Structure 1
Amino acid sequence: MSRKVVRTSKFRHVFGQAVKADQCYDDIRISQNTWDSNFCSVNPKFVAMVVDASGGGAFMVLPVTKTGRIDMSHPTVCGHTGPVLDIEWCPHNDNIIASGSEDCTVMIWEIPDGGLTKPLTEPVVTLEGHSKRVGILSWHPTAHNVLMTAGCDNVVILWNVACGEAVVRIDSLHTDLIYSVAWNRDGSQILTSCKDKKLRILDPRKGTVIAEKEKPHEGSRPVRAVFVSDGKILTTGFSRMSERQVALWDPKNFKDALTLQELDTSSGVLLPFFDPDTGIVYLCGKGDSSIRYFEVTDEAPYVHYLSMYSSKESQKGMGYMPKRGLEVNKCEIARFYKLHERKCEPIVMTVPRKSDLFQEDLYPDTIGPEPSVEASDWFGGKEGRPNLISLKDGFVATKTKEFKVHKSLLATTTSGAGSRQVDSTEVHSLQEEVKKLRAAVEELTERVKTLESK
C-alpha cells in the first residue's frame, strides 16, 4: 500500500484570523469604483483607503492605531478633480504617499505625523505627463524618489519625484491597456502585463524589452504578474473557459510554464502579494471573500498550495503591511487590510509556535526603509541593492529621510531623458522679463544717442 508523502514545510499550518471588531476601522465609505487596484495601502504608521467623494477624488489616511468608528467628517486627502484609482506609500518615507487619478495626474502628498486634522488639498508635487487616467503606481524598491506610473494611454513613465521630472517615457511598446507593473527585488527590471496578451520584462532606464511571453494565460480577462524568488515570474489570469489560474515562469526559458494550476471559476481578478522572506505568495481575489496562499520553492511543482482564509464578506480591496510593521513576538508573518463596503478589517497570518522567543527562521533580515541609491544616480546607471534590517528586537523607526523638492528644478517633460518643456507660467514670466530687458536696452540706447548729439 503506497502512502502519500506529505511535503514538510514550516508554513503548512499558517492560519489567517480577522482581528476583533474594535480593532477594525468602521464607518468608512469605501470607493464603489470598479477599477482593479488595491484601493488600500498601509505602512507601520498609517493606513490609507480610497473613499467615495462628491465632486472629485479622495482618499482617507488614518494612523494605524486609530481603530474603531471613524467620524463622518474625518478629513481626507482631496486634491484630485477625478476619482482616485491607485495609492501607494513611499517605501523610504512613511509620511509620503502617491496617488493616481482619472484626472490624468499623479500627486505626491506629505502626511503629518499623527494624521490629518484638516482636509489636505495641496500636494507637494503634481506630476503631469499622462494623457489619460493614471491607474497604476509603483515606487522603486531601493532608489529614493523614483516612481513608476502607468496610464490608460498605454504609457509607462519613470519619474524623478524630487524634481517633478519624467525621466523615462515608455510609450511605443504597449499596444493596449496595461494591467499591471512590478519591479524586481533591486529595481533593475520591470515586469508589465498588457491587454495585448503579452508579458514583458523591460530595462527600466532604456525602456527596452529584455524578454516577452505571448499569452501567459489563454483567457481574455486581466493578467497580473509579479517577480518572485530567483528572478522567476508568477502570473494570475484566466483560462479560455474563464477559470482562474496561477502560473510560474522562468524568463530564461519562457516557452512553457514551470507550473500552471487551475483554481476556481470566480470572475474576480487575483491580486498577488509575494513575500521574499518566506517564499509565500498570497492571492487575494477582488470581489470574492478568500485569500489563498502558496509556497514558492525550487522543487516541482514549484507552487505548493498551503491553505485558504475565507470569510463571509467579499473584499473591495486589499492592503499589505510591510514586514517591519508586523508583531514578530506573535509569529505574525503577514497582515492584510481588507476593505468591505463600510469598513477596513485587518487580517493576521500567523505561524503557530509555542515559544515566545524570536523565531530566526521565520524572520530573516528583511528590506528596511533606507534607500540604497538616490534617484539621479539610479537614472545614471547605478544599481542599488536592498538595505536589509534585522527584526530581532522589533522594528524601531528612525528619523525618516526628509522629502525635499527642488522647486527650481520642477518641470514637466515631453520625452525621455533630458528634453524639457518648461510649463506655461514659467514661459510667460520669462517672456515678460525679456520684454522688460528690451525696453531698458532701448531706453539706454536713446540716452546714449542724446548724450552723443549734445
Structure 2
Amino acid sequence: MAWRFTPSKYKNTTPKVPKKEETIYDLPVGNLSCTNNAIHSSDHNLAFLIDGEGGKIGLLPLEARGRFLHHQTNIVYAHATSISDFCFTEFENLLVTCAGTEKMKIWQCSDVLKQTDDKPVHISDAISAITLGNNVLLECLSPHKTVSKLIAVGSSDAIFVVDLENEANIIELNADYDRVQSLNWSDSGSLLTASAKKGREGYIFDPRASSDPVQTLVLHSGMGREGRILFTNEGIVSSGFTNNRVQEVLLFDPRNWTQPIQKEIFEPSTGLLIPLYDRDTGLLFLAGKGSSKFTLTEINSSKWTLTRLQEQPVSEQTLGACLIRKMSCDVMTGEVQRIHQLTKNSIIPYQMCVPRRSYKDFHSDLYPLTVDSSTATTKGWLSGENVEPSKVSLNPNNAHISNAESNGHVGEPVSRTSDLSANTTGEDSNTPRKIHYQDVLVKNDSPAEENVSPNPHNGTTNKESITSKIPVNGNPTEVRSCENVAPIPVKMRAPPKSIPTAILQERKIRPKSCVAGTIQSKFRHVEASVATKKDTFTNLRNLNNRMPMEANPFAVSEKYAAVPLQGTAGSLAIFELSDPVKVPDGIIDAIQNGSPITDFQFNPFADRSNELAVALENGTLKLWEINDQIPCIGAPKTEEETAEENSEPAAPKLADLSPMKVIDVGNGKKITCLRYNPVAKGIICVGLANGVMAVWNLLEEKCILEIPAHTSGVLSLAWSTDGKRVATVGRDFMLRIFEPQDGIDCCVSEKKVLESSRGARVCFVCQDELLLLTSFSKTSSRQCSLYQLDGLNLLHNEIIDVGTSMIVPHFDYDTSVLFLTGKGDRTRVSFKVPRIKKDMFQRDVFPNALITWKPSLTGTEWETNTATNLQFCDLCPVGTKEFDNAVRAQAELGKTNAEPKVEGTVQNPKASLNPQHTNKESPIEEADLKLKTEKGWSERIHKDDGALEQDHVEGVAESEWTE
C-alpha cells in the first residue's frame, strides 16, 4: 500500500509559454465550426482544418516555426463539403478523412516531405477512397492502438471497423442509438467505446465477440452539441455538459461501469472540454473550445482518481488542441508532452516540462517505455490475438524492446530519439550519441570503431544527386531531392583510420568544475572590463559601413589591425596596435586596392604578422606585405625620430605600396569570403558569388581544387582545426562539409539549415565535433544553432535577439568559450575570470594553448595528405608557481606539521614506487616514533601551568577583611 503515500513525479509539470517566433502564426484557420478536435499530429506532421469552401486541411512539419501565410501552407483538398473528422493512423502516419456522405479517403502525407522546391504542396489525389454504404453519414474516426491499418468509423446509425490495407469493412456494429460523435479503442485493442446522443449515453463494444454493446454507460445529463469519450489505461473518461450547461468530466472505474467513480465540474460554457490523454505519464489535458485556458490533470490508475494539477491561461481562444507522439518529445529538456493549441490564426506549442535541477542526464523515471511499432495484423486480431506493440526507451543512448521477455524472444536493440536529436548518420543504433563533447574517454589499447558505410563498396563515389534532410527552422523534418540543381557529388564516408596512441593522448581534457554533482564551466563567472580611452583608437572616420553581409569588416593580427574605408577604390587603413592614439585629422593613409573590398584576412604564419590577403569584387586576390619602414597609425615614435622626420624627406606611405602578388581567383566572379588554412602554410580557401569554392596554394600560385559547392553564392566558410575539412553555407540554404584533400568528389555531408539567405556564419567548435551556425530566422531574429558534425543533427537552437546586423562568432579553442559580436558594437571589451590567488598560475583557466602562429605543414605536404599533430604550448610563465602545485605543497606542509619527521629515519624507496607496499616497523620503533611525535607537538603548543588569571592579581590585605 506504499502507493497511497507516494507523490506523483508529474505533479510539478509546468507548461512553457513560447515566444511568438517559436509559434506558427498568420495561418489561414479562421473561425471554425466543427465537432472534432480540429488539429492532429503524427510523427512528423501537423494537420489542421482551414476555414473556407469545402473540406481543406493544412499540413505543416511538426517542428515548423514562424510565419506561414495561405500561399505558404501545404493544403490537402480532401472533400467538397465540411470535414466531419480526420486523424493519423497510429503507426503508418497515413491521414484519414471523412465528410458527411462522401467516401472515406486515405492520404499519403510523405508527399510534403518530397517536395522539390520551396513552393507549398497542394494534394488533391487520395491514395484510396472507401465506400461504407449509400447515404451513410460518417461522423468520427478512431485508429486502432495495436493493429496497423485498422480504424473504427462512427456514423449516424452504425459503427464500422475498416481494414485500410484491403479497403474492406470487416465488422459492422449495429445498435439503436443516434449519431456516434466519439470513438476510442482500449490500450489492448480488444474493446471499443463510443459516445452517442450528444454525450448522454456511452457504449462499450467487444467487436470480435458481438455486434451489440457489452455495457451501456449513463453519461452526462446536459443537451450539449457534442461529447468526447476515451479509454485511460482500461478506465474511461467522458467529457460533456450538465443540465446547467456546465462543463463536466466523468471518470469510470473498469471494475464498475454502472456509475462514474468521480465527477469533476468546471465552468459554464458552450464549448466542450477536449480530453487529451497521455498513457505513458497518466496526464490528462483538458482544452476548452472557445476558452482562454487549459487544465492539466492527472489520473491515478491505482486509486482511480482525477487530480487537478494546474490551469494555464493562454493568450487566444482555443479552436482545437492535440498532443504529439511520444517519440517527438525533447527528453533532454524534461519535456514529457507537448500540446498544440489551434487558434483562428496560429498554432501555439506548449511544452510540458518537469522541473529538475539538471538536464545533463536522461531522467529515466519520467520516461517509461513507449509504443514504437506494431507487429499485429488484422487477420491475427480477428482470430482473437492480442499482440502488444513493441516498446522502446526514449533514452538517446540506448533503448530496447520492452516486450522481448513477455513474448519469449529477444528483439534487436532499437534506438529512437526525438526529432531534435535523431540519429540519421547511418551508424549503429546502439552507439551512444555524444552529448557532452568534453567527456572524452581515451583508451590506449582499444581498436578503432568500425562504421558501416551505406554503400557496400567503401570509398566509392555516388554521383547521383543528394537526397538531404531539409528542416523547417533548422530542424530535420523535411526530405527534399535536389532535382533542379546541379548535382553535388558525394563521397561515401569510409571507415575511420586508426588513430595513433600518441595523438589520442594529446587530446586535451577541458577544465571542469563539479558543484553539487553538476559539471559547470570555470568561466561561468567571467567578467568584462571596458578599455580605457588611452587604450583606444579615437577619431576614426570615413569607415566603410556598407561591407557585404558575408564579409568581415575588421581584421587583426598580433601587430596590426586593418579597417576598410569608404569609396570604390578599396582603401584599407592599417593601425599598429602597440600604441593606440587619436587618429590625426586629414586624409587617412591607406592601402589602395583599386576595387571594392569583399573580405580580407591576415596570414597567421607570416613573419611579424605583416602579410594581408584582400579579396576584391572583380575576382582578384591581392597579397600585401606591410613594410616596417612605412609608418602606420599608432606606431610609437621617440623624440629623435620626430626630429628626424622634420628634417628629412617624407617617409613612404601605404598609398604608395604595391601588392606583393595579384592572383585572379574568381575569373571575374566576385569573391565573397576567404580563409587561411590553420595548419598548412600558404593554403587558402575562397568562396565565390556563383557558389564555387576554390583552394589555392599561394606560394606556388596554383589552384589545387575548384568545385561547385553551392547553386548560389557562398555566404561563409570555415576550416576545421586540423585543416582537413571545410564547412560552407550558401544562399541556397544549404550547409555542406568538404574534405578538399580527397579531390573533386569531396562533399561528405549536407543539409538545409537556413531560414533566410540574408547572411550566416559557420565555424567548427568543441574539438571539431560540433558545428556552430549563426543566422537569421524568418522573423529577423538572430539565432545560434549547434549541429553534430556526423549527420548534421540539430542539437540546440538559441534565439539571441532581433536585429539587422550579422552576429559574428569567435570561438576560443583552448577554453571552449564563444564570443558573439555584431555590427554596432562600439566598445572594446576584455574578459577575465575573477580569482583570489592572482600571484599564482591557474592551470584550470589557462590550459595548454593551441599554437596557431606556426605552421605544422607546408602546402605541398598538405596536398599529399600528410598526417600532422596539433601543437600546444604551456602558458605558465617561467618561475611562476602553479595554483594546484602550491595547494598540494601547502597540504604536504600541513601534513608535515601534523606529523613531524624524525631525524635519522630513512623512508623505504620501494614504498614510493609501489603504492601497495607497506613498511611495517617493529614495536620498539613505533614507540620511539610515538614519543618523538608527542615531543614535537609539545614544542609547538604553548604549555599551560594550570594557574588562573585571578591568581596573579594582588588582593587586599588580611587586616582589611571585617566580619
Q: Does TM, scored on the shorter chain, surpass 0.5?
A: yes
Deviations 1:53-82 (A, max 9, x none): 33x211111112332112422341104121
CA distance in 2, matches of 1:191, 1:166: 18
Q: 1:208 to 1:16 in 2, by over 3 A?
A: same
SS in 2 for 1:373: coil
Structure-1 residue corresponding to 2:191: 189
State the shift of 1:135 in Å. Answer: 2.8
Structure-2 residue corresponding to 1:24: 23
State the shift of 1:295 in Å. Answer: 1.4
Structure-1 residue corresponding to 2:44: 45
Structure-2 residue corresponding to 1:234: 237
CA distance in 2, matches of 1:12, 1:286: 25
CA distance in 2, matches of 1:203, 1:75: 39
CA distance in 2, matches of 1:14, 1:75: 34
Taking only the aligned residue pairs, the percentage that are identical comes to 22
Give runs of aligned pairs for residues 313-332 of structure 1, distance below 5 A: 313-332=316-335
Structure-1 residue corresponding to 2:141: 137
Amino acid at match of 1:384: V
- 1:149 partnered with 2:147: no
Deviations 1:4-52 (A, max 9, x none): x998332222111232212222222215342221111112311111112
State the shift of 1:207 in Å. Answer: 2.5
SS in 1 for 2:91: coil
Tell me, yes or no, if the aligned pair for 2:85 and 2:140 is still in contact at 8 Å.
yes
Query: Which stretch shows the higher mean deviation, 277-286 or 202-211?
Result: 202-211
Deviations 1:370-414 (A, max 9, x none): 112122322333222132111001245899xxxxxxxxxxxxxxx
Q: 1:333 to 1:53 in 2, by over 3 A?
A: same
- 1:211 partnered with 2:215: yes
Q: 2:389 aligns with which of 377, 386, 389?
A: 386
Deviations 1:341-390 (A, max 9, x none): 1111111111111121111111000111x112122322333222132111
Structure-2 residue corresponding to 1:426: none
Tell me, yes or no, if the aligned pair for 2:24 and 2:346 is still in contact at 8 Å.
yes
Query: Which stretch shows the higher mean deviation, 257-266 or 247-256?
Result: 247-256
- 1:65 partnered with 2:63: yes
Query: Which stretch shows the higher mean deviation, 359-368 or 98-107?
Result: 98-107
Tell me, yes or no, if the aligned pair for 2:75 and 2:122 is still in contact at 8 Å.
yes
State the shift of 1:120 in Å. Answer: 1.0
Q: 1:178 aligns with which of 176, 180, 186?
A: 180
Give runs of aligned pairs for residues 179-328 of structure 1, distance below 5 A: 179-195=181-197, 197-205=200-208, 206-214=210-218, 216-221=219-224, 222-229=226-233, 231-298=234-301, 302-328=305-331
Deviations 1:128-176 (A, max 9, x none): 115244231111111011011112x232111111111111122x31421
Amino acid at match of 1:360: S
CA distance in 1, matches of 2:221, 2:330: 41
Give runs of aligned pairs for residues 67-82 of structure 1, distance below 5 A: 67-73=65-71, 74-82=73-81
Q: 1:351 to 1:122 in 2, by over 3 A?
A: same
What is the count of residue pairs matched by the alignment?
A: 388
CA distance in 1, matches of 2:128, 2:168: 10
State the shift of 1:198 in Å. Answer: 1.8
Q: 1:361 aligns with which of 365, 371, 388?
A: 365
Structure-2 residue corresponding to 1:107: 105
CA distance in 1, matches of 2:77, 2:317: 27
Structure-1 residue corresponding to 2:92: 93
State the shift of 1:300 in Å. Answer: 5.3
Q: 1:298 to 1:82 in 2, by over 3 A?
A: closer
Tell me, yes or no, if the aligned pair for 1:90 and 1:139 is still in contact at 8 Å.
yes
CA distance in 1, matches of 2:33, 2:304: 34
CA distance in 1, matches of 2:143, 2:301: 28
SS in 2 for 1:22: helix
Question: Alignment RMSD, CA only?
Answer: 2.3
State the shift of 1:113 in Å. Answer: 5.4
Structure-1 residue corresponding to 2:761: none
Unmatched tracts of structure 1, length 5 or more:
400-454
Q: Normalising by structure 1, what TM-score?
A: 0.80
Tell me, yes or no, if the aligned pair for 1:36 and 1:286 is still in contact at 8 Å.
no
Q: 1:333 aligns with which of 313, 325, 336?
A: 336
Structure-2 residue corresponding to 1:34: 33
Q: 1:163 to 1:299 in 2, by over 3 A?
A: closer
Q: 1:252 to 1:397 in 2, by over 3 A?
A: farther
State the shift of 1:301 in Å. Answer: 7.1
SS in 2 for 1:76: strand
SS in 2 for 1:162: coil
Structure-2 residue corresponding to 1:411: none
Structure-2 residue corresponding to 1:165: 168
Structure-2 residue corresponding to 1:351: 354
Structure of larger gyration radius:
2
Tell me, yes or no, if the aligned pair for 1:61 and 1:115 is still in contact at 8 Å.
no
Tell me, yes or no, if the aligned pair for 2:28 and 2:69 is still in contact at 8 Å.
no
State the shift of 1:267 in Å. Answer: 2.1
Structure-1 residue corresponding to 2:83: 84
Tell me, yes or no, if the aligned pair for 1:174 and 1:194 is still in contact at 8 Å.
no
Tell me, yes or no, if the aligned pair for 2:275 and 2:285 is still in contact at 8 Å.
yes
Q: Return the structure number with greater strand share.
A: 1
CA distance in 2, matches of 1:397, 1:88: 28
CA distance in 2, matches of 1:154, 1:32: 29
CA distance in 2, matches of 1:115, 1:22: 26
Q: 1:62 to 1:358 in 2, by over 3 A?
A: same
Tell me, yes or no, if the aligned pair for 1:47 and 1:61 is still in contact at 8 Å.
yes
CA distance in 2, matches of 1:167, 1:7: 45
Q: 1:169 to 1:126 in 2, by over 3 A?
A: same
Amino acid at match of 1:324: M
Give runs of aligned pairs for residues 431-450 of structure 1, distance below 5 A: none
Structure-2 residue corresponding to 1:407: none
Unmatched tracts of structure 2, length 5 or more:
397-416, 427-963
Q: Normalising by structure 2, what TM-score?
A: 0.39
State the shift of 1:256 in Å. Answer: 2.9
Tell me, yes or no, if the aligned pair for 2:144 and 2:150 is still in contact at 8 Å.
yes
State the shift of 1:298 in Å. Answer: 4.4
Query: Which stretch shows the higher mean deviation, 26-35 or 141-150?
Result: 26-35
Tell me, yes or no, if the aligned pair for 1:43 and 1:325 is still in contact at 8 Å.
no
Q: 1:301 to 1:387 in 2, by over 3 A?
A: closer
Q: 1:159 to 1:7 in 2, by over 3 A?
A: same
Q: 1:317 to 1:174 in 2, by over 3 A?
A: farther
State the shift of 1:294 in Å. Answer: 1.4
Q: 1:118 to 1:275 in 2, by over 3 A?
A: closer
Q: 1:362 to 1:261 in 2, by over 3 A?
A: same
Amino acid at match of 1:136: C
Q: 1:237 to 1:101 in 2, by over 3 A?
A: same
Tell me, yes or no, if the aligned pair for 1:31 and 1:50 is still in contact at 8 Å.
no
Q: 1:301 to 1:80 in 2, by over 3 A?
A: closer
CA distance in 1, matches of 2:212, 2:17: 43
Q: 1:121 aligns with which of 124, 135, 147?
A: 124
Q: 1:354 to 1:192 in 2, by over 3 A?
A: same
Q: 1:22 to 1:373 in 2, by over 3 A?
A: same
Tell me, yes or no, if the aligned pair for 2:92 and 2:149 is still in contact at 8 Å.
no
CA distance in 1, matches of 2:333, 2:42: 18
